Structure 1
Amino acid sequence: MTDALTLRAGAEAQASALPPLLAAAEHLASTVILGDHGRRRAGTGDTFWQYRSAQSTDHARSIDWRRSARSDASFVQDKEWQIAQSVVLWCDRGASMRFASTDKLPEKATVARTLVLACAILLIRGGERVGMTGSDLPPRRGTGQIAQMAALLARDDDADYALPEVRGLIPHSRAVFVSDFLGDIAPVEDALTRAADRGVRGALVQILDPQEEAFPFDGRTVFESMSGTLQHETLKAGDLRSRYLDRLAQRKDRLTQLARTTGWQFSTHHTDAPATQSLLWLYQSLAQPA
């Protein structure tokens, strides 16, 4: 009986996080105007997209003679590409993501989860298949997929830094990794290398609190990880500022180079900034041709 009550209490606690997350993600997605073309591009399909000048490689049967009769040139109809793309998402749920420097700022985890879920909402509205890395939620369409993603995103990881998950990546698909990327860089390098080997392209979004960018500490300071397993005390925190900022800059440079080498894109988002611009950047990054 106790186990059943504990299980029910845990389920209710997890479910209580879903409506706020879904509402925030829906609101964020609604602020992004995708324009007339969205993710449309030429390819196999039945829906007219645009006229273009005929080329020597086009068959005569492809020429739109009615449109061409109004001009001295020959024109071909481009159809909209209607093959749904699979996009797989990974969101860092490690303890380090639960950091917020003040109670006026959201936790990095809240921003990351909202951004990932809002991106999924836009992709599914655009006809794409979306899922999570791992084996729990393979890419699918439909609003039901959004609810399942929200349930997975609501879970926390006890480890200080979560490891990027590459299980479930579909060859030649797209992927999104969202994290603070402050842990060991080796698993990130390995994940992107393995993804690139499968022809997977995507985007990295680094979520940072403003305090993590500025390092505004001086004098006696105790630094402790969010899980409480790591701790460092110093009497001269100001002396660490330049070394910390140098290492942070090196980490960003390494992520930028890693993304460039593997055909991905990289961006940083701060928790005190509106998420709309980062969401639009992320969505447009996924729309880039492979």
Structure 2
Amino acid sequence: MKFAITTKGDTRSNTLMQKMRTYLLDFDLIYDEDQPDICLSVGGDGTLLYAFHRYSSRLDKTAFIGVHTGHLGFYADWVPEEIEKLVIAVAKTPYQVIEYPLLEVIIRYQHGGRETRYLALNESTVKSVEGTLVMDVEIRGQHFERFRGDGLCVSTPSGSTAYNKALGGAILHPSLRAIQVAEMASINNRVFRTVGSPLILPDHHTCTLKPVNGQDFQVTVDHLTLLHKDVKSIQFRVADEKIRFARFRPFPFWKRVHDSFISDSD
């Protein structure tokens, strides 16, 4: 089996990476950064996001494992003290594959030209480069509302605990193939009106944003911030691809939610 390791880059994570790499090579596994069967992420959720984007072209072939060297992560369930146990599990034990849905983002441009496609594990946000964001929101090709405000956030179920939650969005279990649209500081008065609530769309629905004024937008895809000019539309839907996690033990989602937001223990 071929493996790769991504790291947060700090001293502790790098030390763990070297130890894990040595152990796995001793078990006759092959280190292959280009085409790994398993990618081990050492750091936190941000490190795993980086690993996901690095291997987004081979999601059907690469499974991910997270080791957290800081706070408990939603994607990283192993701790440094368990490295030996994890290495033996990877080398000797068949793993269960858990799949989570992803968000597809397609940006189309004025005057035709090539469209740009992204995959997000957590979320994508859209903001105006200058001033208020004004977008016509279409759902399944039908006009839904004209949004005015700071921006819009479209998240996956596994990303619903991140920026989406801070915006007042719902927490969705990752077994649901859905996306969620949450508003950022929408303008609502006698003249302008939005629905004012997060929207949860099933996997056969699309949400498309069409600019009303201005064509240049700041779009984020997980940790990436991108400037897109001459935008005609931005389309969101549940992607055909999924992220695959290699599980060697249970990692209950609601326990993660409890431990991250409710539990007062470290």
TM-score (norm. length: structure 1):
0.23
Greater percentage in helix: 1
Greater percentage in strand: 2
